Amino acid sequence: MKKTFQATPKVPILDEFYKKTLGVDRVKSVETGTCASCGGDVLKTAFRDPGSFKEFTISGLCQPCQDSVFGVKAPDSFMKEVLGDW
């Protein structure tokens, strides 16, 4: 049985806006563990920290999609930038 999650409550107009904008039901995406943007299984991606998982319950976005939207570098590219070819 697949794990289910609980979406954070929103005022109905925000969820309607989300459905009309993305064509996806944010609440259903979160509850089924499916990314609202790419449709991927969130259990197959690791969240960077508790705040990133919390963001998933708010927006329905997996970690790679959060990184894309918010402009956060993936950990491996960040480490390469910090360490170079060390």
Would residue 4 count as lying in a domain? no
Judged by phi (left if over 0) then psi (alpha if -120 to 50, else beta), residue 30 lies in alpha
32-84, pLDDT tens digit by residue? 999 999 999 988 888 988 999 999 999 999 999 999 999 876 566 555 555 55
3-43, pLDDT tens digit by residue? 678 898 888 998 899 899 888 899 999 999 999 999 999 88
Would residue 7 count as lying in a domain? no
Would residue 66 count as lying in a domain? yes
Using a 10 angstrom Cβ sphere, with 0-12 exposed, 13-18 middle and 19 or more buried, the burial of residue 56 is buried
Instruction: Provide the whole-model pTM.
Output: 0.73
pLDDT, position 80: 58
In the chain, how many domains are there?
1
Range of the domain at 61: 12-83
Would residue 1 count as lying in a domain? no
Distance between CA 3 and CA 65 in Å, rounded?
20
Whether 85 has a pLDDT exceeding 70, the answer reads no
